Chains A and B, each alone.
Chain A
């Protein structure tokens, strides 16, 4: 007896036989491939970003949806959500950061190894959001530098994926010398980070 299944009952061919990231531009000949080191490093980095979720509130629930099977951030090389800052590349600050929590966020950021990136998810992390009040930090960019802001209250998982792809763009195209440049040092010094 046929099972009463209405969906996905016919085999669909894959659009491509496999899914693979486009290689960097370069010069190829028989047995060799020449390209820029920064492109290769960028390619490797951007497709295996290890996020550290610093989730404090309702945006964290949206983040859980993002990590779960439906939206599946693992598709972008980030299935390895880490809870130790030492191993992470991307600090995702998700939710309201009270002023009392600010030193904790900063400490977590300082414990991450360079190169490190920061994504502020939601209105509260970006600007304080609706909590225009004495106890809430008015945006985490007051204590640590932020690379990508994702607006929304809370943002939909699609919006976070979009923000994540922008982080990937930054990671993939970053100059390998950027973190040693005087300009970067200057930026860090504005946050009191050596």
Chain B
């Protein structure tokens, strides 16, 4: 980690898993270093997802990378934060092929715009959907829904 020094912040180790944060524009450099370095060798991306923190102004969306060193069986978690108004993040799909679909999923549910992704479109939800369902912007039950036939469920 000497290479990046103070640019990596937020070190913590919840449940024994080393976690850190950096500026969102550094994500590819950090991931590439973790991949290339002979001692680190985090060459397997196990998960890529997002979290929405509606109260954290300017960094509402967190993109979380889970990496695995298969040789040493060590896992690591790397987070970057981005503003929800302009959720642009560089794509890791060139480095990890596994990131391709996981970034599509993250875009599908959180609307993170992965710059440079080869095919950034919805993967799980219907193409007509015009919102990002896992953002914490909606009431638990939408009262304006029209697709539910409430007649049979006693909710008038």
Instruction: Tell me whether chain A's interface is mostly helix, strand or loop, or mixed.
Output: loop
Asked if B124 is at the interface (CB within 8 A of a chain A CB), the reply is: yes
Residues of B within 8 A of A132 (CB): 141, 148
Q: Which residues of B pack against A, CB within 8 Å?
A: 124-126, 129, 133, 141-142, 147-149, 152-153
User: Known: A132-B141, A134-B133. Contact between A127 and B149, CB under 8 A?
Assistant: yes
Could you give 18 example pairs across A and B, Cβ below 8 Å?
Answer: A99-B125, A99-B126, A100-B124, A100-B126, A127-B152, A128-B148, A132-B141, A132-B148, A134-B129, A134-B133, A134-B142, A135-B126, A137-B147, A138-B147, A138-B148, A138-B149, A139-B149, A142-B149
Q: Are A100 and B125 in contact (CB-based, < 8 A)?
A: yes
User: Known: A132-B141, A135-B125. Contact between A127 and B153, CB under 8 A?
Assistant: yes
A12 to B147, CA, bound (A): 56
Q: In this complex, what residue of A is CB-closest to B152?
A: A127
Shortest beta-carbon distance, A133 to chain B, in Å? Answer: 9
**B-facing residues in A120-135 (Cβ within 8 Å):** 127-128, 132, 134-135
Residues of B within 8 A of A138 (CB): 147-149
A187 to B141, CA, bound (A): 32
A137 to B142, CA, bound (A): 15
A side interface size, CB within 8 A: 11
A139 to B148, CA, bound (A): 9
Residues of A within 8 A of B147 (CB): 137-138, 142
Shortest beta-carbon distance, A146 to chain B, in Å? Answer: 12
Q: Which residues of A pack against B, CB within 8 Å?
A: 99-100, 127-128, 132, 134-135, 137-139, 142
A125 to B147, CA, bound (A): 14
Residues of A within 8 A of B126 (CB): 99-100, 135
Residues of B within 8 A of A134 (CB): 129, 133, 142
Shortest beta-carbon distance, A25 to chain B, in Å? Answer: 37
Q: In this complex, what residue of A is CB-closest to B131?
A: A134
A142 to B148, CA, bound (A): 10
Shortest beta-carbon distance, A103 to chain B, in Å? Answer: 9
Q: In this complex, what residue of B is CB-closest to A133?
A: B133
A128 to B149, CA, bound (A): 10
Q: In this complex, what residue of B is CB-closest to A103?
A: B126
Q: In this complex, what residue of B is CB-closest to A128?
A: B148
Residues of A within 8 A of B153 (CB): 127
A114 to B141, CA, bound (A): 40
A142 to B129, CA, bound (A): 18
Residues of A within 8 A of B133 (CB): 134-135
Residues of B within 8 A of A142 (CB): 147, 149
Residues of A within 8 A of B125 (CB): 99-100, 135
Residues of B within 8 A of A137 (CB): 147
Shortest beta-carbon distance, B107 to chain A, in Å? Answer: 16
A34 to B148, CA, bound (A): 50
Other A-B pairs beyond A99-B126, A128-B148, 19, CB < 8 Å: A99-B125, A100-B124, A100-B125, A100-B126, A127-B149, A127-B152, A132-B148, A134-B129, A134-B133, A134-B142, A135-B125, A135-B126, A135-B133, A137-B147, A138-B147, A138-B149, A139-B149, A142-B147, A142-B149
